[in-house]
Chains A and B, each alone.
Chain A
Amino acid sequence: MSSPNSRLPALAALALGLVAAATALVFFFAPLDADQGLSQKIFYFHVPIALTAYACFGWGAWKALLHLWKREPGADLESYVAIHQGVIFGALTLLTGSIWARASWGVWWTWSSNQLVLFLVLFLFYCAYFMLRFSVDPGPQRANFSAVYALFGVALIPVSFLAIRLASDFIHPTVFTSAGPQMSAKMFFTFCVCLAAMLSLAATLNAVELSGKRLDARLRELREALA
């Protein structure tokens, strides 16, 4: 069985290829939106980045559950790195969303949209995760506190995801309905490639960061052994 490090170059190559293909599809394949025009192109990266942030938070919560339930070695570190990734992708979601809002609605932000406010709440909740984690000394207690907090946060994901369907203002567009995606086949294909690109990019960055953290821990052990 190959180790995570041996899979990293292949994962990075996949991410690079998919990001390049996604960018080319967005600008040379996907048709212009009849309503929003060119600014709709932001959708192809903004929505996959948001979904990737949800996936990272979900993965972090799953690893937190494994830490609490099975005491799986390394699950706490994997949960922490996944949540770190989620916060980075969450920040990119808020920034690209804000630019799209300015282009489409004429405002950088609106407090009347439940989708936006709930995503901000989710983002701030996970930002606070780091304050909790680094306010406790390293050890089993810190790992347990962090895991419980990560599990609480995951409850916000379906609320944030479904908020747009529960919202009454409808300022934020609904693209995926019970009738399927409300876009042409070319647009949907481009969106799927963009989503795959973002997920593979997140997986690559996750593997790189995790590898660095593990190496750091091993070096600390070695330094203590040699001291």
Chain B
Amino acid sequence: MSSGEKYVAAAYLVVLVGVLAYVLIIATKLARLEREVGELAELAKRRKAESRG
């Protein structure tokens, strides 16, 4: 691999890694939101059961 090829590959790899890192961060946040939605759904179910009982 020539030095020009190495630099071009490095530049494109930086962009790819940057975008993938961003997607990873967003995916982590989405997982947290999903967990919170589950917790709130459980809380709402308990409240409903308490109001009936």
- Judge whether A212 and B26 touch: CB under 8 Å: yes
Residue of A nearest to B13 (CB): A99
User: How far, in Å, is B25 (CB) from chain A's closest CB?
Assistant: 9
- Judge whether B40 and A222 touch: CB under 8 Å: yes
Check if B50 is an interface residue, CB within 8 A of chain A.
no
Q: Which of A22-67 contact B (CB under 8 A)?
A: 23, 37-39, 41-42, 45-46, 49
Q: How large is the interface on B (under 10, 10 to 19, 20 to 34, 35 or more residues)?
A: 20 to 34
Residue of B nearest to A42 (CB): B11
Check if A192 is an interface residue, CB within 8 A of chain B.
no
- Judge whether B18 and A38 touch: CB under 8 Å: no
Residue of A nearest to B2 (CB): A38
- Judge whether B14 and A96 touch: CB under 8 Å: yes
- Judge whether B22 and A205 touch: CB under 8 Å: yes
A interface residues, tally (CB under 8 Å): 29
Query: In the assembled complex, which residues on chain B have CB atoms less than 8 Å from the CB atom of A208?
Result: 26
From DSSP, what is the main secondary structure of chain A's interface residues?
helix
- Judge whether B11 and A219 touch: CB under 8 Å: no
A188–B5 alpha-carbon span in the complex (Å): 22
- For this complex, 29 residue pairs linking A to B, each with C-beta atoms less than 8 Å apart, are A23-B12, A37-B4, A38-B2, A39-B4, A42-B11, A42-B12, A45-B12, A46-B11, A88-B18, A91-B18, A95-B11, A95-B14, A95-B18, A99-B7, A99-B11, A99-B14, A100-B7, A100-B11, A102-B7, A103-B7, A201-B19, A212-B29, A212-B33, A216-B33, A219-B33, A219-B36, A219-B37, A222-B40, A223-B36
Q: Which of B11-53 contact A (CB under 8 A)?
A: 11-12, 14-15, 18-19, 22, 26, 29-30, 33, 36-37, 40, 43-44, 47
Residue of B nearest to A216 (CB): B33
Contact of A226 among B14, B30, B47 (CB under 8 A): B47
Query: In the assembled complex, which residues on chain A have CB atoms less than 8 Å from the CB atom of B47?
Result: 226
- A residues adjacent to B (C-beta < 8 A): 23, 37-39, 41-42, 45-46, 49, 88, 91-92, 95-96, 99-100, 102-103, 201, 205, 208-209, 212, 215-216, 219, 222-223, 226
- Judge whether B18 and A103 touch: CB under 8 Å: no
A149–B29 alpha-carbon span in the complex (Å): 27
